[in-house]
A and B are shown apart, each in its own frame.
Chain A
Amino acid sequence: MIDPIEPPRRKNPLLRTRLPTSPPRPRSRTSHGFTRAAAEGRFMLQRCEACGAFAYPAREACPACLSAGLAFVDAPRRGTLLAETTARVPSDVYFRERAPWRIGLVRMDCGPTMVAHLHADCAEGAPVLMSFQLDKSGQAVAFARPEGETPNMADDRQWREMTADPKFRRVLVTNGRSVIGQEAAAALKAAGAKTVFVGVAEPWRPFAGEKLLRGQEGIEVVTLDAADEKSAADLAADIGGKVDILVNTTEHVRPGGLLDRRGTSIARDEIDQAYLGFINLAQAFGPAMRMRGADGINNSVAWINILSVYALANWPAFGAYSASQAACLSLSQCLRAELRPGGVKVMNLFTGPVDTEWFQTVPPPKVAPRAVAQAIVSGLRGGLEEMYVGDVAEEIRQRLAANPKALERELDR
């Protein structure tokens, strides 16, 4: 059993803020099958297409029958902890700073034996559940947890290194004018965030939900127009050093594609809000977040983008909007690489049409804003990088993987 983490005290200004370090990064190309699994919160192992044996670590040929057909498939997570050990003085800087560090050997029910990081409540001989997690270098590692819930389970020191739990952390939700922003703020606060800063652009303009938003304990409304360079920089000057999680809830949805729109002013707004807003936020908040990746219990841990799944494949009915989202998706990959030295995760949450005003005429299924908010929290708690919220997003993902051309034709309706 582990003790709950305590709310962090105020920082001692006489001490230097420790710089983030990274665990070992090299992986084989094949091993990135695990990275993909970890990014999406899936547990995947290679399985021989000839004999059905599961294999681990990543291999080029089946260890049982030497067949080369080893595809990554979802695998059973259950195993038994065979042996454990504690590294007390590791040579690697990252682990040395975090020693003692427990690792163990887990015999998986499906066959292979895996070396894994251990949750403190894992006991030798007891069953465990295995997952792949993204560590501070952004690479997949195996992590074993007890099979059932244990007290204060998410407070485990080693687990918290793999995740971005909002508990005791300070969050900036960039757009509180939207229902998603308001739901996200409430959900993050309920998930234990110390403070949720909520950005509101053009505060002179009233908006639905304003009274409720302004009245909530632990939620602090701040002026932020992400599309305005100075506004983002001004807010970062105030709170940039205490944003541990940034949730980019920019939302500017307009219907239409190319030929039935006149001119570029609507597209310009879309780019202004989504793409340039992203850049402004990144330049204002990114450097401090990257620098504070090892800053104690409330270190900076994650940046979340809410993107349309049509960033992956253009939906002509909202064609220009889709393009602006594709641009943001590309930026998110750049940001991920640039925040990686700080161990800060960039999580993209893809949604289909959300049940908001600008998708009014789109038939269901539509994603409830509350479902997006809940996904943000669960994604942070799981330390994910890619999430697909709702049936439409999941379906688009699968259809894209199966046949991009077919999807292109099907979206043209």
Chain B
Amino acid sequence: MQSKNLLELAGAISSGAVRVVDLTFTLSPDFPVIVLPPEFGQAAPVRIQEISRYDGRGPAWYWNNVTFGEHTGTHFDAPIHWFTGKDLPNNAVDTMPPKDMIAPACVIDCSAEAAKDPDFVLTVPLVEAWEAKHGRIPERHWVLLRTDWSKKGWRDYSNLRDDGAHTPGPNPAVMKWLVEERRIIGFGTETIGTDAGQAGHFEPPYPAHHFLHGAGRYGLQCLCNLDQLPATGAVIVASPLKIQNGSGSPLRVIALVSAS
């Protein structure tokens, strides 16, 4: 590729011919985190502690100490996160190839279905129907599941009931198929996990984690603004923090979208 094309891209971003859509929630202590049974280890919540704010602790400067779990806020899952990907090479956020951090996306809009049923699951026939309209999902593309879940209040967003969370996600067959037949680079959702809220009862449990990470692919969750993306053609930039042997990280996810 010639460098003038890159400069053209930069110019298009600057002029607005290429829109930059922020797919990221603000990293804050209020944002829901994954809930596991209390006897398991828990993700540390996001904490922001002021070091100084133009005061006696530092007269001219404002800064914070920040702590959080790797899987808080809008975040990235690396293959090492799941047992199926634990022995793969370059499976952590610090060793994954940087080129995997930029890739195009197919956005499957299931917002109408998810509005009707919080336990909605994406299936192979539904993706095939999408492909009939938009074309076959190319290799090494992200598949992003749009549910408009990110527009809900936090309680409905986490939607916890006494039998667990009820949020949409993929079923096992479609995950296996997307990974093996479509060779996607990763799968992204608006919900707290890449898997459905009830996915612990699927076979295998947590199929998105199971199949994605087992094949060295990635996950993105807690995305927002997916409604601003076209079905095809957006380019996702998702570069997690380079945490030593990290299983994931909160990150800023942006999408480049041709304005025309």
A228 at the interface (CB under 8 A from B): yes
A227-B41 contact given A202-B32, A205-B35, A205-B160, CB 8 Å threshold: no
B126 at the interface (CB under 8 A from A): no
B residues near A394, Cβ cutoff 8 Å: none
A residues near B160, Cβ cutoff 8 Å: 204-206
Inter-chain contact B49/A229, CB cutoff 8 Å: yes
Inter-chain contact B47/A268, CB cutoff 8 Å: no
Within 8 A of B (CB), among A194-220: 202-206
What CA separation (Å) do A202 and B157 show in the bound complex? 13
Within the complex, what minimum Cβ distance (angstroms) separates A295 from chain B?
A: 27
Please give me the residue from chain B that is nearest to A231 by CB atom. B29
Please give me the residue from chain A that is nearest to B29 by CB atom. A228
Q: Contact flags (1/0) for B21-52 with A, using CB distance below 8 Å?
A: 00000000100100100000110110111100
What CA separation (Å) do A46 and B50 show in the bound complex? 51
B residues near A155, Cβ cutoff 8 Å: none
Inter-chain contact B42/A230, CB cutoff 8 Å: no
> B-side binding surface: helix, strand, loop or mixed?
mixed
Inter-chain contact B32/A204, CB cutoff 8 Å: yes
Within the complex, what minimum Cβ distance (angstroms) separates B222 from chain A?
A: 13
Q: Contact flags (1/0) for B154-177 with A, using CB distance below 8 Å?
A: 110110110000000000000000
| Interface range for A | 10 to 19
A82 at the interface (CB under 8 A from B): no
B residues near A156, Cβ cutoff 8 Å: none
The CB with the most chain B CB atoms within 10 A, among A227, A228, A265, A268, is that of A228
What CA separation (Å) do A268 and B67 show in the bound complex? 12
A225 at the interface (CB under 8 A from B): yes
A residues near B29, Cβ cutoff 8 Å: 225, 228, 230-231
Within the complex, what minimum Cβ distance (angstroms) separates B187 from chain A?
A: 24
Can you name 11 A-B residue pairings with CB atoms under 8 Å?
A: A203-B154, A204-B32, A204-B153, A206-B155, A206-B161, A225-B29, A227-B47, A228-B45, A229-B47, A268-B44, A272-B44
In the complex, the 10 A-B pairs of residues with the closest C-beta atoms, listed nearest first? A204-B154, A204-B155, A228-B29, A204-B158, A204-B32, A229-B49, A265-B41, A206-B160, A205-B160, A228-B47
**Chain A positions near chain B (C-beta within 8 angstroms):** 202-206, 225, 227-231, 265-266, 268-269, 272
Q: Given A204-B154, A204-B158, list of 19 further CB < 8 A pairs?
A: A203-B154, A204-B32, A204-B153, A204-B157, A205-B32, A205-B35, A206-B155, A206-B160, A206-B161, A227-B45, A227-B47, A228-B29, A228-B47, A229-B48, A229-B50, A230-B29, A265-B41, A265-B44, A269-B42
